[in-house]
Amino acid sequence: QKEVEQNSGPLSVPEGAIASLNCTYSDRGSQSFFWYRQYSGKSPELIMSIYSNGDKEDGRFTAQLNKASQYVSLLIRDSQPSDSATYLCAASFRPSGSARQLTFGSGTQLTVLP
C-alpha cells in the first residue's frame, strides 16, 4: 500500500509569517511530487511540482524534497489570509504493469490569521 502522510492540522499562522507544511511518502520509487491547494467547496489546484532533491521556488512558495528521508515540504512566505485552504501532497508512482498514478495525502488545513 503506497501512502502519503500529512499532518491534518489545523495549522494556524499569523499574517506575514512563514507557513511550513510537511509530507512523508512510503514508496522509494516515487519520482514526482506535487502540492495542490484546495479551497473549501472547491476542487484541488496544482501550485507546485518538484522532481529532484533540493528546493524549488515559485514566488512566495518553496517546495523542498529529500528523497533519502522520503520527505516533501511546502513553505509559504509572507502568508496571506487568502492562503487559507487545505494543502494536498501527492506522490507519483508506477504500479507493476500499470500507468503511473498519484497517491494523495489527506491534506493539511491551513488558516492564516489577519
By the rule CB under 8 A, 92 interacts with other proteins: yes
Give the range of 10-18, 60-68, 71-79, 103-111 binding other proteins by CB under 8 A: 103-111
Of 43 and 82, which has the nearer Cβ to other proteins?
A: 43
Please give the Cα distance from 4 to 103 (Å, whole number).
7
Binding mask 22-61 for other proteins (x = CB under 8 A): ----------x-x-------xxxxx--x------------
Within 4-23, the residues that bind other proteins by CB under 8 A are 4, 8
Q: 73: how many CB neighbours lie within 10 A of its CB?
A: 18
Count the residues in the chain.
114
**Nearest residue to 110 via CA among 73, 91, 82, 90:** 82
| Chain position carrying cell 509530507 | 23
Give the range of 14-22, 53-61, 65-73, 102-110 binding other proteins by CB under 8 A: 102-110
Please, what is the Cα angle at 38 between 33 and 42, to 5 degrees? 140
Binding site for other proteins (CB under 8 A): 4, 8, 32, 34, 42-46, 49, 88, 92, 98-107
